[in-house]
Amino acid sequence: MPRPEEFSKHLENNLEKSKKAKAATNQERIKTKQGLQQEEEQTKLATAESIRQANQAVLKLDSQLPIGEYIKVLKSRVVSLESVRKWGPKNGEIDYAFPFQLKIGKRVVKKSQLPPGRNLPGGGVDDYGWRMWRNVFGVRLMHDGYIVIGQAERVFPLDSINPRYWLSGNSFYINSEEGLKQFTQELTNFYLEQKA
């Protein structure tokens, strides 16, 4: 059996070992935490750089292709409630849209047919309880050369007409002569649909 002095020394030695082990564990935690923070920071920087490059690519594509001009021509041929709006670049995408029809319930009306003061009805409902809608035409151009075209009904005036919130559908590659033909055909189909 150890003497009390030996036992006391034994306790001191174990306490010293325990402190060293805890210090080493804390150092390891600090290193791990710093490593994770550096990795997270590198990931953020890489993501930001990727988005910046995608935004530059979509801006270049948008400047090379007459998409915005085609949409403005289409809007001038279709009775439109508002001008063409453009959003972006954001996350490597540019969106275009314009509302082309206003409906109360299922009845199509002209903006001039709305009762005075009812251009911005509360809750998107007119005096008779009918929901008011805007039919919106939208186009999304993506940095990889794909484009999506579509239309939707959006509650007037509550829902955003930004295609980012509603546009889905078939996409096709526009960064080619064939893609531009398909794009112009899609716009032509929409135009003929409105004039029928």
- For residue 149, pLDDT beyond 90: yes
- Number of domains the chain is built from: 1
183 found inside a domain: yes
Pick the residue with more confidence: 154 or 108? 154
Give the model's pLDDT for residue 144: 94
88 found inside a domain: yes
- For residue 142, pLDDT beyond 90: yes
Q: How large is the average pLDDT for residues 45-60?
A: 94
170 found inside a domain: yes
What pLDDT, in 10s, does the model give residues 109-129? 766 665 554 444 455 666 666
122 found inside a domain: yes
84 found inside a domain: yes
- For residue 178, pLDDT beyond 60: yes
HEC readout, the chain: CCCHHHHHHHHHHHHHHHHHHHHHHHHHHHHHHHHHHHHHHHHHHHHHHHHHHHHHHHHHHHHHCCHHHHHHHHHHHCCCCCCCEEEEEECCEEEEEEEEEEEECCEEECHHHCCCCCCCCHHHECCCCCEEEEEEEEEEEECCCEEEEEEEEEECCCCCCCHHHCCCCCEEECCCHHHHHHHHHHHHHHHHHHHC
139 found inside a domain: yes
> Range of 126's domain?
65-195
Q: How large is the average pLDDT for residues 39-66?
A: 92
What pLDDT, in 10s, does the model give residues 79-110? 777 889 999 999 999 999 998 887 777 777 76
**Is 138:152 a contact under the CB 8 Å cutoff?**
yes
pLDDT band with cut points at 50, 70 and 90 for residue 50: very high
